[in-house]
A and B are shown apart, each in its own frame.
Chain A
């Protein structure tokens, strides 16, 4: 595990890159910002983030470009040049390798889920990533929950559920991102039980692979950390897929993948 000095140095380097993401910026520039030699910096960066500095720079530039494709009508060639790709062809190849489609196809598709884009890594996120304790996957995901639901991020939902039902322990909190409604969030708070309770709605969690982690942090932060980890561990092997469900109970959070 990296020490706090390494996390701080890497964060400083990332911050300097993020400020110049649309300018020529080398890995050596990042190393200088961290006050490390190039060689040592590359090792420490990979050890701290799971990515090499160049992979991070490339993925962040692709993420920013993907967002710009979605939100603007800028010419694809211009976006490529703005994010330091040597040509539209180089940009298209890198884009397809990472997102599984060409920039033009991405632009034509309906809105994409934000978890497809690697977030900027900062010190808080790095500290959280290294604090996450991963649990065996999927084994005890409770498939059927009964509770209340809302069409937002559900900040007050767990408290409201307790007020209605009197239940204060073992409450499951779920954020759900429907595949056919990108950008939309549904929230749910409830308990695991097999039989129906009047006035409560049932949510059936999908079977499949889950990240399961323990950490003393808000579910939003854990989601951000796990989104980041998805981009680290999965993105070298398969085109990444969006987060669909985030479920938490106490310090325990499960994220579908």
Chain B
């Protein structure tokens, strides 16, 4: 799969974070795991408060996975879900701010059932090397927009995966 390359500059998100093992209670896509709960927490906040704030931009919804030596050793996950803010306005009560690294990102667009398949393995082992790209920061981002129709309409859906990259020859 060939990616598009974009540059992100000063993207700051507002949302919620989970750190730990998300699959201790449930491992299914449709069941409640901790990442699903995290989205629920965010959606509750969004409905009550977030959507009324003028500086929140809901064109994209982000799920950011950060990898550290501990997450790799223990199979834990550091996951942040949220939306972009156009300005940092005060200290929020409840949600957190999270800045994305500036720089170039490769965008891989997943379509249909590929979204729920193990795209992470070919992405790391085939798609990035074939595009002569290396990951520049240990994060991967799932960016949702109006093309994602929901898990019950996955065949009609599209999802963008963003990976911060540098060119192999750089």
Contacts and interface: CB of A to CB of B under 8 A. Distances in A.
Given A46-B23, A47-B28, A54-B21, A40 B121 contact: yes
B72 interface: yes
Given A52-B21, A54-B21, A38 B27 contact: no
B124 interface: yes
Nearest to B23: A46
Interface residues of B, number: 22
B49 interface: no
Q: Is the interface of A mostly helix, strand, loop or mixed?
A: helix
Interface string B94-112: 0000000000000000000
A243 interface: no
Interface string A26-67: 111001000111111111111100001111000000000000
Nearest to A84: B73
B52 interface: no
Contact of A39 (B24, B65, B74): B65
Contact of B121 (A36, A45, A46, A47): A36
A32 B73 CA distance: 12
B73 A37 contact: no
A35 B121 contact: yes
Nearest to A44: B27
Contacts of B77: 39, 42
A42 B24 CA distance: 10
A125 B120 CA distance: 28
B39 interface: no
Nearest to B71: A38
Q: Which of the listed residues B75, B77, B118 has the most CB atoms from chain A within 10 Å of its own CB?
A: B75
The 5 closest A-B pairs by CB, nearest first: A37-B120, A27-B75, A40-B118, A46-B27, A46-B23
Given A35-B121, A36-B121, A54-B21, A43 B73 contact: no
Contacts of B120: 36-40
A152 B74 CA distance: 41
A36 B21 CA distance: 17
Interface string B70-97: 0111111100000000000000000000
Given A37-B118, A37-B120, A37-B124, A43 B76 contact: no
